[in-house]
Chain A
Amino acid sequence: MAAGNRTWERPTVFRRREVKWAVYVGIVGFVLWSGVGVGADPARIAQGLGSAGSLVGDFLPPSATPRQAQRIADKMLESVAMAMVSTLTGIVLSVPIAFMAAENLSPKPLYAINRGFISISRAFNAIIVGIIAVKAIGFGPLAGILTITFKTVGFFSKLLAEDLEDIDMGSVNAVRASGASPIQTVLYGVVPQIIPRFAGLSVYRWDINIRTSTIIGIVGAGGIGSVLLTAFNRYDYQYVTAILLAIIAVVLVAEGVSAVVRRRYT
């Protein structure tokens, strides 16, 4: 048996090695060009770091007058309430949209319309949706609820629809084959297959919504964000720190609750 003189290389996704190197060079070049374009010169970065250092001093220690503390509490409560309400309404709206956006359960045109809606909802950041909502219905928590509900629907119905597309259609057809009506088929064939994911996604989205509701006030859509903006505008940095700590505390609690619930129910 002669020693083989054949060689082997792992095939690359780029098909040819020249293409691979061209892509790598392109990426590095683009990053460098971007850095120059935004004026990221080392001197400025150093200067920025210096002033950031002195700024930290202005932020400490956190402090708030009793009136300010009360305001933090009130507005934080508003944020949490906004998150609660919009999680609930968002999920309720998401369920029918998810079914209509599931390729295996929905006729083609309906599928396309609902996928389109989901893409629009996901395309815009909550802040942008918030600005539009405030323009449409004015300042206040209602704009926030609208914003977060809209974002929840995009997120929730997309993930739920994907889950629906993964269900075992064999058992769904078996239920249908026994003479069950469409509603009964969904109740017995589909719902049991998605319930655990549904619970997990709900809590996860609630946790995301708590975070969104603490920032959305920056554009006037209610909640603690507006207090934060005012404090920044008045250069009241110690108050800012107090607000930030409150936000961190609430977000951590929400994240903890979400993690525990998801671990238990999925």
Chain B
Amino acid sequence: MLQVTDLRKTYPTGDEALKGVTTSVEGSETVAMIGPSGAGKSTFIRCVNRLTEPSGGEIYLDDTELTGLNDDALRAARRDIGMIFQEYNLVERLTVMENVLTGRLGYVSAWQAFRRSFPPEDIERAYEILDRVGLGEMENKRVDELSGGQRQRVGIARAVIQQPKILLVDEPTSSLDPETSNTVMRLLTDIAAEREVPVLINIHEVDLAIEHADRIVGLHDGELVFEGSPSELDQLGLDQVYRGAEVPENADDGQAPETTGDGDVLPDTDRPLAGET
């Protein structure tokens, strides 16, 4: 379980990207973090595994507090956090297999890593996961020969082979066409469910969030302005997340006025652009 309390991040440029965000990801749920571009979604994820150093707050992954860890302990903790990125962030000149095995680097010595001599059970697992994500027989292809959808499948495999306690996913589909986006999202949430791994997923396409998430949290300008189930995300919630509407005093108990039918909560013209990041 991931428990984040009062997370703050101010960049050296003075940008206050996170202004005290408290939330959690529990059990094996899929939580979607929505919000306009610049809301602080990426910063949030990067702070959790400290690719970016948080300026304040606490982050617990199970019983480990992450913000205070020294280098060695942080490295050990990172093995339990699988990350998937918008731009895939694979190493293009390495093979698919090498990219997947990168997820096991935390468990082998530098010399083993250099010789590419991973334990047989890692290799076995890599083959199984590649099969699962639909890349069987592709292990010796170089990543720069793959399509975007295939690359993100490698990205998923690399994160999953870590056998992480949580998956942190930053806009996994923003570089993909809508159809591929949907299959990749489906694959991701299915695999996470099979393995009972909780997922925190940044996404700005509200449809995808509603379709795939168990719970939705909304960020606006570094602040948490919505938290609830997909069915609770109504027009008011969307206004708060995307337009910065005031959060009403009784936000917790009051049923906000329903404006449109279920599912299609935003009129098309107001929907955040699919290509925007």
Contact = CB atoms under 8 A, between A and B. Distances in A.
Interface stretch (B31-39, B72-80, B230-238, B250-258): B72-80
Contact of B105 (A168, A171, A175, A192): A175
Contacts of B85: 170, 174
A184 B87 contact: no
Contact of A177 (B76, B81, B98): B81
A193 B82 CA distance: 23
Nearest to B82: A178
A171 B90 contact: yes
A30 to B, nearest CB: 44
By secondary structure, the A interface counts as helix
A180 B102 contact: yes
Contacts of A124: none
B154 to A, nearest CB: 11
Interface string B86-114: 01011111100010001111100010011
A177 B105 contact: no
B91 A184 contact: no
B129 to A, nearest CB: 14
A92 interface: no
B156 interface: no
A141 interface: no
A168 to B, nearest CB: 8
Given A177-B49, A178-B158, A188-B105, A171 B91 contact: yes
Contacts of A181: 75, 105, 110
Contacts of B159: 178
A72 B196 CA distance: 76
A32 interface: no
Contacts, number: 78
A168 B143 CA distance: 14
A179 B69 CA distance: 13
A157 to B, nearest CB: 22
Contact of B114 (A170, A171, A175, A187): A187
Contacts of A178: 78-79, 82-83, 102-106, 158-159, 162
B90 A174 contact: yes
A184 B51 contact: no
A34 B138 CA distance: 66
A192 B79 contact: no
Nearest to B103: A178
A223 interface: no
Nearest to A174: B89
Contacts of A189: 91
B83 A184 contact: no
Contacts of B91: 171, 175, 188-189, 192-193
A192 B94 CA distance: 7
Contacts of B102: 174-175, 178, 180, 188
A171 B89 CA distance: 4
Contacts of A73: none
B54 to A, nearest CB: 15
Interface in B150-172: 158-159, 162
Interface of B: 49, 51, 75-79, 81-83, 85, 87, 89-94, 98, 102-106, 110, 113-114, 158-159, 162
17 contacts: A171-B91, A174-B89, A174-B158, A177-B49, A178-B158, A178-B159, A178-B162, A179-B77, A179-B78, A179-B105, A180-B102, A180-B113, A184-B110, A188-B98, A188-B105, A192-B92, A196-B93
Given A174-B83, A177-B81, A181-B75, 20 more contacts: A168-B89, A170-B85, A173-B89, A174-B89, A175-B91, A175-B105, A176-B51, A178-B79, A178-B102, A178-B103, A178-B105, A179-B76, A179-B77, A179-B78, A179-B106, A183-B110, A187-B110, A189-B91, A195-B93, A196-B93
